[in-house]
């Protein structure tokens, strides 16, 4: 978030809405993981962010809105998730099916942007595409072909295992994939 927010008009619009009292919308990048609302002229931030850089950036942006309707900022309920998992050890491939290629491309972009992930591989497989064979290990190809035969398109993302929960949630629930597969994690070296 730290890099992309600076010139993101949607983030600025979200803050404007919060200050105006419309605090129902999810944060453009962090979604419902964080919330901000004005209470008695105090901008109260709450929720959980993945690292302290995100927290610092949110607090900085909130402080930039003080002066008029907002007297000060309360970030005491904004937590940084305590994580001990290491990145770079395991990879996981996730596949999601969508009705057509356009929807699949949009969904793929949505997942990457809202999940704030850095995929090691991102492919959209359309019906008839030969890319399906290399997208996943052999035992899953038949299953993928079944969906392609129905005219569906597939988003295939290879991500760090620590990011895979977010990806699956966005595929299953937010982009409403008709089918999702999480290929079991494998050592990161296997995908190099």
- Interacting residue ranges for other proteins, rule: CB under 8 A: 24, 26, 32-33, 35, 83-86, 88-90, 92, 94, 139-140, 161-162, 164-169, 172-174, 176, 179-189
- Phi, psi of 110, deg, nearest 5: -60, -45
Alpha helices for the chain (secondary structure H): 9-19, 52-63, 101-115, 132-135, 138-149, 164-169
* Residue 50 CB, nearest approach to other proteins (Å): 10
Q: Which is nearer to other proteins, 10 or 146 (CB)?
A: 146
Q: What gap in Å lies between CA 23 and CA 26, rounded to an integer?
A: 8
Task: Tell me the CA distances in angstroms from 189 to 159, 162, 186, one per residue in order.
Answer: 13, 15, 8
Q: Which is nearer to other proteins, 56 or 186 (CB)?
A: 186
The DSSP output letter for 173 is I
The closest alpha carbon to 45, from 82, 9, 78, belongs to: 78
* Residue 43 CB, nearest approach to other proteins (Å): 18
Q: Which is nearer to other proteins, 72 or 187 (CB)?
A: 187
Q: Which is nearer to other proteins, 37 or 122 (CB)?
A: 37
* Residue 86 CB, nearest approach to other proteins (Å): 7
Quick one: CA dihedral 149, 154, 159, 163, positive or negative?
negative
Q: Which is nearer to other proteins, 21 or 187 (CB)?
A: 187
* Residue 173 CB, nearest approach to other proteins (Å): 4
* Residue 38 CB, nearest approach to other proteins (Å): 17
Whether the CB-CB separation of 181 and 95 falls below 8 Å is answered with: yes
């Amino acid at each position: 978030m730290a890099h992309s927010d600076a010139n993101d008009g949607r983030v600025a619009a979200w803050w404007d809405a919060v200050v105006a009292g419309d605090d129902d919308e999810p944060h453009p990048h962090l979604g419902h993981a964080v919330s901000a609302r004005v209470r008695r002229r105090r901008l109260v931030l709450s929720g959980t962010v993945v690292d302290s850089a995100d927290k610092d950036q949110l607090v900085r942006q909130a402080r930039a809105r003080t002066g008029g309707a907002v007297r000060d900022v309360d970030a005491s309920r904004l937590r940084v998730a305590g994580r001990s998992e290491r990145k770079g050890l395991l990879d996981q491939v996730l596949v999601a099916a969508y009705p057509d290629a356009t929807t699949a491309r949009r969904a793929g972009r949505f997942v990457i942007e809202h999940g704030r992930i850095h995929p090691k591989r991102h492919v959209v497989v359309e019906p008839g595409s030969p890319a399906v064979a290399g997208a996943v290990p052999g035992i899953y190809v038949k299953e993928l072909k079944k969906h392609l035969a129905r005219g569906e398109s597939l988003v295939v993302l290879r991500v760090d295992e620590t990011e895979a929960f977010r990806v699956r949630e966005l595929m299953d629930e937010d982009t409403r994939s008709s089918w999702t597969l999480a290929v079991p994690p494998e050592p990161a070296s296997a995908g190099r």
